[in-house]
Chains A and B, each alone.
Chain A
Amino acid sequence: MSELTCRQTDDLAAAWAVGALDGAQQEAVTRHLRDCQRDHDEAQSLATVAAVLPASVEPVAPRPALRERIMASVAETPQVPVMAPPIGAQPPRHPIREQRGGGWLAWLRPGLARGVALAAIPIVLLLVVLAFNLQSRIADQDQVLRQVAGVIGRGGDLVRVEGAAGRGYLVRTDGGATLLAADLAPLSDGRLYEMWVIDASGAAAPAGTFRPQANAVVVADLQAGLAGAKTFAVTVERQRVDRPTSDPVLAVNLAR
């Protein structure tokens, strides 16, 4: 959907607040409110009122087993980590994701990890299979992505990475690590994705940058080791920087 004007956004604000727009409109309003320099006070106020609507329902006690089930799931679920923004950095106007581009993969990005060349043929075959399954379920896609990561890793550790921008795997081998990710939105205005290795003190070391092509799987070698790392993260930056200036769009806690 094309970009909305401030007037159009205000007109749709009440419907947006109660989730009564179709997907494209809902995203367009969210995007406008996130990016617009003008304050849309009325829209924000209506959204806040709408947010209390669910608290108006009659409570219903769940069965006791539900609590146990949730606690068991939580025990196996890592939190998506967020780095503290660097001192003096401007926080994002709203804590929401970059807009996600649709689609899946079509071909492999150039610049594969060293040592992966021999594995290129099975990888390409797997990606061709993926390309013919564009409409398959996300779970199926994820399984194939994991298989590709396994081929690249050749027995190395696979760590699932996910966040607002998409999902992927960090492949840890003796010689280093490689990020394999899908569903990352192409970036405009010269922006790029930058990888970070973060230690227990929160210090972030830059680990390389990449720019995904539309519908492409990203395969990016890390230019920093993971020894002593607590977190691996990816941020969107306007240029290559020494310290992250935005919240991660992909991250994983490596200490778990």
Chain B
Amino acid sequence: MPATDSAVDVTRDKRPDDVSADVQLDRRLVSRIKNGETDALGELYDRYASLALGVALRVVGDRDLGEDVVHDAFVAVWRKIQLFDADRGSVRSWLLTIVRNRAIDRMRAKRPMMDVDDADEQALLRTAADPTLTEVLERIGSHELRTAVARLPAAQREAVELAYFGGHTYREIAKLQRVPTGTASGRLRLALGKLRAMLQRPDDSTAAPRNLAGIDE
């Protein structure tokens, strides 16, 4: 289902000028939200709600539940915005990571429940870990990201999706893929490494990752 007409399409691939303007807009919105402006959170919603619901639905598969997750995530961003440093991380990544964590939490029954507040703050660390790389990745559009993920070897792509959108541990992934735990863990490492290599070359985004062609298991 397409995004609403009123929503800003932040998922298309963009020119560098557009990206820079988007990053600046996000930072201004963060600043205004920190000042307590609820309208600014509304604008952030208009920019990322469709993407957020896409993430939630990918995990929970139910629209009512997915919208509940998106609701909780935007309220969490509002509550915890003072903890967020726009110079270190992307508000898009932080928001979507919160959505993912809360969606997984809703679906997780057999594993020990995560403390979603704790997870939100761990997400701050994970999404602000490498500001230089974050700046590069901020320029990547959703289509380009999907293309990069699709280019991963099938077993690695499946491992990442089982972990990130399925909420499985690497030990569970090893059982599901019928491989040793070391292989499952290695697949995650290889997949992220390949994604990094592909995404760090935005000018060559349509090319196959030739330097990684020989790396698989």
Contact = CB atoms under 8 A, between A and B. Distances in A.
A21 B169 CA distance: 5
B99 to A, nearest CB: 7
B214 to A, nearest CB: 19
Contact of B1 (A60, A79, A81): A60
Contacts of B106: none
Interface stretch (A48-56, A151-159, A238-246): A48-56
Nearest to B131: A48
Contacts of A141: none
B82 A82 contact: yes
A23 B97 CA distance: 16
A59 B51 contact: yes
Contact of A62 (B67, B89, B121): B67
A20 B130 contact: no
A19 B128 contact: no
Contacts of B38: 71, 74-75
A155 to B, nearest CB: 29
Given A20-B169, A56-B149, A71-B41, A50 B7 contact: no
Contacts of A60: 1, 50, 53-54, 57, 66
Interface string B58-97: 1000010011001100110011111111000110111011
A18 B160 contact: yes
B129 A47 contact: yes
B145 A55 contact: yes
A20 B173 contact: yes
A80 B45 CA distance: 20
Contact of A51 (B51, B78, B126): B126
A66 B70 contact: yes
A22 B111 contact: yes
B196 A49 contact: yes
A66 B71 contact: yes
A112 interface: no
Interface stretch (B15-23, B112-120, B204-212): B112-120
B192 A100 contact: no
B71 A73 contact: yes
Given A23-B114, A54-B55, A61 B50 contact: yes
Interface residues of A, number: 61
A49 B63 CA distance: 27
A248 to B, nearest CB: 9
A112 B123 CA distance: 37
A47 B4 contact: no
Given A20-B170, A45-B130, A52-B145, A95 B163 contact: no
B202 to A, nearest CB: 12
Given A19-B167, A95-B124, A51 B101 contact: no
A46 B50 contact: no
B90 to A, nearest CB: 7
Contacts of A12: 185
A59 B11 contact: yes
A204 B83 CA distance: 19
A57 B127 CA distance: 17
A36 to B, nearest CB: 13
B189 interface: yes
Contacts of B133: 45, 48-49
Interface string A60-97: 11111011011101110111111000000000001111
B82 A51 contact: no
Given A49-B133, A51-B127, A96-B125, A57 B192 contact: no
Pairs A-B, 10 closest by C-beta atoms? A44-B129, A59-B50, A54-B96, A14-B189, A56-B145, A20-B163, A82-B82, A51-B93, A57-B54, A48-B130
Interface of B: 1-4, 7, 11, 34, 36, 38, 41-42, 45-46, 49-51, 53-55, 57-58, 63, 66-67, 70-71, 74-75, 78-85, 89-90, 92-94, 96-97, 99-101, 104, 111-112, 114-115, 117-118, 121-130, 133-134, 137, 140, 142, 145-146, 148-149, 160, 163-164, 167-171, 173, 185, 188-189, 191-193, 195-196, 199
8 contacts: A18-B188, A51-B94, A56-B146, A57-B146, A67-B49, A82-B82, A95-B84, A97-B118
Interface of A: 11-15, 17-23, 26-27, 30, 33-34, 41, 43-64, 66-67, 69-71, 73-75, 77-82, 94-97, 100, 164, 247
